[in-house]
């Protein structure tokens, strides 16, 4: 199960996160879902398993200010 990194609730891609806080209507908790999709996670794990990190993440010259 994926969770939104903005509000912490279950992923709500392409829709608002509505929560029931005991009021007459549900409250809009979050309007922009930020979650890792299964596809992104699978690609990351595949790259990690193949020992092929994204070169931009480990650019030593940029890190050292060159």
Domains held by the chain: number: 1
> 30 lies in which domain range?
1-49
Using alpha carbons, select from 43, 23, 38, 27 the residue that is nearest to residue 9: 27
Backbone torsion region of residue 51, taken as left when φ is above 0, otherwise alpha when ψ lies between -120 and 50, otherwise beta: left
Q: Which residues pair with 18 in a beta bridge?
A: 28
Q: Would residue 20 count as lying in a domain? A: yes
Q: Look at residues 28, 24, 3 and name the one whose alpha carbon lies nearest to residue 13.
A: 3
pTM exceeding 0.95: no
Tens of pLDDT, residue by residue over 41-66, are 566 667 767 776 555 556 666 666 65
Q: Does 60 map to a domain?
A: no
d(CA 38, CA 13): 13
- 65 occurs within a structural domain: no
On average, the pLDDT of the chain sits at 79
58, part of any domain? no
Flag whether 16 is in a domain.
yes
Residue 30, pLDDT > 90, answer yes
């Amino acid at each position: 199960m994926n969770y939104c990194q903005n509000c912490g609730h279950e992923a709500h891609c392409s829709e608002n996160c509505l929560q029931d806080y005991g009021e007459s209507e549900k409250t809009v908790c979050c309007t922009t879902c930020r979650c890792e999709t299964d596809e992104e996670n699978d690609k990351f794990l595949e790259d990690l398993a193949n020992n092929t990190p994204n070169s931009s993440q480990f650019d030593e010259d940029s890190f050292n200010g060159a």
